[in-house]
Amino acid sequence: MKSLLALSLSALISLSAVAAETKAPAKPDLAKGQEKATQVCAACHTFDGTRGTPANPILQGQHAEYLVKQLAEFKAGKRANPIMSGMSAALTDEDMKNVAAFYSSKKAKEGAAKNKDLVVLGEKIYRGGIMAKQVPACAGCHSPTGAGIPAQYPRVGGQHGDYTEAQLVAFRSGARANSVQMTAIAARMSDKEIKAVSDYIAGLR
């Protein structure tokens, strides 16, 4: 009887341990994310990540997983940026998840292309790529509307054209080195092609 009781108790302890290990992670706290975003991020990205300075990315509606990944890589030095490295250094993993969830919860405002002369070329590259240079269609990873794929590819639709262009140029030069895919793709693109597709992306919705 004692042996049976001991086995039952042991099994119960084991089950409790397994349950504790498989317990779902805590959900991000949007209120804490808003508080941290106001303290740390608002100066460059505006209070809610909306359409601020074109040199800085719009964070509204961006996939939370992508934002967490970028913040972690800024902090680790995998993505180089003096300002963001300093900002992310003080953030905990929990802070990153909360801030990312806060920005992701906001509905992104629509943007617009500015250069009518390049919009046709930009659309051609985004939707069909550049076959002669083995540049794939952007829509293949970022979706036809620019919405991206959560946890894999970022939302790009409506993003500042200036910012997108700067990132593609940085990928091409190697200054931004946290995506092997984008480095290879941008390396095959000319200044005009980068500018055209960046401007087209700004008006995607």
In a domain, residue 184? The reply is yes
CA distances in angstroms from 196 to 37, 55, 188, listed in the order given: 32, 17, 14
Given 104, 127, 158, which residue is the final one in a domain?
104
**Do 89 and 162 fall into the same domain?**
no
Higher pLDDT, 147 or 15: 147
Question: What CATH number is given to the structural domain containing 198?
Answer: 1.10.760.10
- Domain final residue, candidates 104, 129, 164: 104
Look up the pTM and report it: 0.86
pLDDT of residue 22: 56
Packed helices 119-128 and 191-202: angle between N→C axes, nearest 10 degrees: 90
Residue 99 and residue 166 in one domain: no
Strand partners, 130: 135
* Cα distance between residue 138 and residue 149, in whole Å: 12
Q: Which of 104, 138, 154 is the last residue of a domain?
A: 104
128 and 94 in a common domain: no
Of 51, 35, 22, 33, nearest in space to 93 by CA: 33
Question: Domain check: are 93 and 133 in the same one?
Answer: no
Give buried/exposed letters for 148-187 (b at 16+ CB in 10 A, else e): beeeebbbbbbbbbbbbbbbbbbbbeeebeebeebbebbe
Range of the domain at 156: 119-202
Number of domains forming the structure of the chain: 2
Residue 135 per-residue DSSP state = B
User: At 149, is the pLDDT very low, low, confident or very high (cuts 50, 70, 90)?
Assistant: very high
The answer to whether position 188 is within a domain reads: yes
Q: Are residues 51 and 96 in the same domain?
A: yes
What percent of the chain has pLDDT above 90? 80
| Helix and strand numbers, DSSP H then E, in the chain | 11, 0
Q: What is the mean pLDDT of the chain?
A: 90
Residues 196 and 124 reside in one and the same domain: yes
Closest CA to 136 of 192, 200, 67, 182: 182
Tell me the per-residue pLDDT of 35-54, one tens digit each, with 9 for 90 and over.
999 999 999 999 899 988 99
Residues 87 and 35 in one domain: yes
Residue 8 lies in a domain: no
Whether the Cβ atoms of residue 61 and residue 104 lie closer than 8 Å to each other: yes
